[in-house]
A and B are shown apart, each in its own frame.
Chain A
Amino acid sequence: MKIKNIFLTLTLLIGTMSVFAQTTAPDATKPYVIFDSTYTLESTSSTSNTTFDIYYDNTSGNDVKGIQFSFNYDNTVFDEPTLTYNNTSGPAGYLSYDVDSTNGIVKVVWVYTGSTTTFDMIAGNMFTVNAPFLSNYTNSAVADVDFTTDLTAYYVKSDGTDGVLGTQDNGGNFIEPAFDYTATILNSGTNPADSIDVILQKSSDGSSWTDVTTVTTNSNGESVFSENLDQDYWQIRLKIASGLDASTALSTADANMIAQIAAGVQSASGIQFYTANTNQNNGVTASDSYMVFSRLAQGNSSYSSNPDVLFFTEAQYTTISNATSDQSSSIPGLTEFLSPLINNTTTGNFYLLILGDANGTGLN
């Protein structure tokens, strides 16, 4: 368990590091314009446009009075973009740019227009590109942005001659907007289910689903998802595969309790109409108790024809929990859990009940 947590932590760290901004000059040989490693796309249904910054940095020690360069963009995705100067070097500058939407090329020229002879451009997110989606764009792969040679990259030296402007492309990749979601898998309201593999799935049509990632629940029963999914485009749900082995939750105490319920020594709670009905047939009977004793005695990891676990939504679980009668005819539960769509939500609680676990030990 500890090794698994360390691994998760390392994975998270690596993942976090990979999305750190890369916006500084790679060396001190010359000034640079820089593309970050990734840029986030706007949602396809958003009224806002995708924006991405072009950075400038210079550790060469030479004053820079102006720059010119060009880059490309995916003109099968974006309509004609606009460019704004973010006043990183003050207001005394003039920006001009040209968009060749046919070829997806943007040329950019910025020059200092002030009177200070000692002016030097200041590093920062110098330009912001505002790129609207084409009207026919839905969702597809987006090519990254790259610097091009359509306009030779120069910077202006102090003596008014051209110097070579470096172009640092750290990727310029576009990713879909972030989708952050925490699924909590519970045995009961106070008993989280640990080490459950929860799969995040997406579908463009609601019938064909693709696994995005799998996150195992932690000790709090939480699977934390942080993905780049345009939830305005994708249908998103959770899946927990059938076939879980809940042997650790079963004991002779469970078998005895089932027998007592079957004998009428104690009455069944709403939950126990599921957990004590091991064979899922004819309510709670001596057969259900026998199934547990038999499994324990033989050391089996599963029942012969019944699942170990049934899954429920929070609403279903509440209904069951509050009931004084068997709800299984109307709420049978799922052996393979497929959640309702979780688009536009950030958290969700889901419950599992273990057949034979009459005393509610749960998976943890």
Chain B
Amino acid sequence: MKNLIRFIVFSILCTNAYGQSTTTVNIRSLKTHYGASQSGQYYTGNADSHTEFDAMVNLADGGTTLYTEGTVDITSYQGPRGGNHTPYQLWNPPRWSTNNGRYAIIYSGWFKPNKSGLYRFRTFTDDSHEFMIKGIGKTNDIVTKYYGWNVWAYGTATLDKNTWYEFEYRIQNYGGIGAAKFEYRIPNGNTYNQLSPNHPFAEWSATDPNAVPITASGYIKGAEEVGIAGQTVYLKTQNKNQVGFSYTTQATTTTDSNGYYSFNTTLNYNDYDFTIDINPSLGTLITTDINWFQDRLLSDTFSSKDYWRMDVNNTGSFSVSDIYLMHQRRHGNISSYPGGGQEIWSTNFWQQPYVWNAVKVDTDDKTINNGYGSWSLFDLSNGNQTTFYLLRVGHKN
């Protein structure tokens, strides 16, 4: 039943948000204080400091659990509209309990004000609250705050109408009736306006309008420059400008029948450096490939590629013995080739075009050059496309 209610609430939230993109923001509704009159792990009744408020809205704290989250129209009554207890209980965000509940409501997102200049803000909640605009130089980004209840908090901010600002308005209620109001005064204005459809204050967004989604695409191709299907490709990120390398996987895909892969993420390129990594697989050896290699023995013409894909017994030359071993590997009689060594060699054209350009036309044994063809695909620009080339033992392509 509880889950059903959550689903219904979430559905309503999503429905309300639909078509209201200019006033839609994120909302997160939390149950705090274990849902009762007890302290969380790192906070007590009302938040009395920014640190305590951080703890209260942090799901890592045992006293706080997620009730629901989604988006709302910030100018509706699901937004910070209605409080001061008049009219009674107009503020109606999704809450796990409206009657004497312990909860926190966090609105977040981005806004672009309608005018440029000095804005004045005042906020009123029951109980504590913090209104933050990030990146404008405020301590802890806080513009207005009050740790207690039913007291107007005042603050100012100089804003530019062409700039998207990230904001967060966090409100908690520690029992009793909750309330939340948000009022602003435009530059050179004389009156405060309650945020409402008639006074939207700004253009709002639940997603970062400044964000540049990370996209990347490319191909994984074999020795004959034909795409290889089913190869695993990773998109990995680390924080922008981070020192060192600690990339973690954000998305995984596999190549299609043309060897093509693509990533269209919501990750912000302004926040992350990214790299494309692959986990190539050898694949099943097939008789037609092996026969092709055997016929190649007769041609007396070999390429640099053949030293990787054809010289499976690692003797530095090509003979019927290589062919025999391929068949034995195909039958599963052997799991590796004599001499061991690398079975898949790869390079990427974006990083080292000169490598593949040489390998595909040269005839010398480049495998003897330690590290030749190794690659590190970093410093990708967003939207870059690159082609990986694989040379796999026993595979023509």
Which residues of A approach B to under 8 Å, CB–CB? 65-68, 94, 96-98, 107, 109-115, 117, 150-152, 154-157, 159-162
Q: B381: CB under 8 A from chain A? A: no
What chain A residues lie within 8 Å of B298 (beta carbons)? Answer: 96-98, 107, 109, 151
Q: Name the residue on A nearest B299 (C-beta).
A: A98
- Please name all residues of chain B whose beta carbon is closer than 8 Å to the beta carbon of A111 when the two chains form the complex: 294, 320, 323-324, 327
Find out whether the CB atom of B319 lies under 8 angstroms from the CB atom of A68.
yes
Contact at A68–B331, with CB atoms within 8 Å?
no
Interface size, chain B (Cβ < 8 Å): 25
Residue B25 CB within 8 A of the other chain: no
Residues of A within 8 A of B313 (CB): 160-161
What would 8 A/B residue contacts be, using CB atoms closer than 8 Å?
A65-B324, A94-B323, A97-B298, A98-B295, A111-B327, A155-B320, A162-B319, A162-B320
Closest residue on chain A to residue B313 by CB atoms: A160
Q: Quick check: B338 and A161 within 8 Å, CB to CB?
A: yes
Q: Is the CB of A157 within 8 A of B299?
A: no
Residues in B neighbouring A114, C-beta threshold 8 A: 327, 331
> Out of B297, B300, B331, B338, which one reaches A115, CB within 8 Å?
B331
Closest to A165 in B: B320
CB distance from B287 to the nearest CB of A (A): 7
* Interface secondary structure of A, over-half rule: strand
**Least distance between A234 CB and chain B CB atoms (Å):** 39
The interface residues of chain A lying within 8 Å CB-to-CB of B334 are 160
20 more A-B residue pairs beyond the given contacts A94-B323, A98-B298, A161-B315, with a C-beta to C-beta distance below 8 A? A65-B321, A94-B291, A96-B291, A96-B298, A107-B300, A109-B297, A109-B323, A111-B320, A114-B327, A115-B332, A117-B328, A151-B298, A151-B300, A152-B319, A154-B320, A156-B319, A156-B324, A160-B338, A161-B321, A162-B315
Set of chain B residues within 8 Å of A68, measured between Cβ atoms: 297, 319-320
Residue of A nearest to B327 (CB): A113
Residues of B at under 8 Å CB distance from A? 287, 290-291, 294-295, 297-300, 313, 315, 319-321, 323-325, 327-328, 331-334, 337-338
Contact assessment for B327 and A96 in the assembled complex, using a CB-CB cutoff below 8 Å? no
Q: Check if B287 sits within 8 Å of A157, measured CB to CB.
A: no
Once the chains are docked, how many angstroms separate the CA of A109 from the CA of B294?
A: 7
**Cβ-defined contact, B320 with A160, below 8 A:** no
CB of A66 within 8 A of CB of B320, answer yes
Given A109-B320, A111-B320, A152-B319, CB of A160 within 8 Å of CB of B297: no
Residues of B within 8 A of A156 (CB): 319-321, 324
> With a CB–CB cut-off of 8 A, which chain B residues contact A109?
294, 297-298, 320, 323
Q: Which A residues touch B325, using CB under 8 A?
A: 160
* Nearest chain A CB to B162 CB, angstrom units: 70
**Residues in chain A near residue B320, CB distance under 8 A:** 66-68, 109-111, 154-156, 162
Give the 5 A-B residue pairs with the shortest CB-CB distance, closest first: A98-B298, A115-B331, A160-B325, A68-B320, A66-B320
Distance between Cα atoms of A280 and B12 in the complex (Å)? 141
Kindly report which residue of chain B lies nearest to residue A163, judged by CB atoms: B321
A160 B333 Cβ-Cβ under 8 A: no
Cβ of B322 to closest chain A Cβ, rounded Å: 8
A151, A156, A160, A162 — which one has the most chain B CB atoms within 10 A of its CB? A160
Which single residue of chain A is at the shortest CB-CB distance from B337?
A160
Interface centre among B291, B294, B313 (most CB of A within 10 A): B294
Contact indicator B295/A154 (Cβ below 8 Å): no
Q: Which residues of B contact A96 (CB under 8 A)?
A: 291, 294-295, 297-298
Residues of B within 8 A of A151 (CB): 297-298, 300
| A67 to B294 CA separation, bound complex (whole angstroms) | 11
B323 surroundings in chain A (CB, below 8 A): 66, 94, 109, 111
For residue A160, which residues in chain B have a CB less than 8 angstroms away from its CB? Answer: 313, 321, 324-325, 328, 334, 337-338
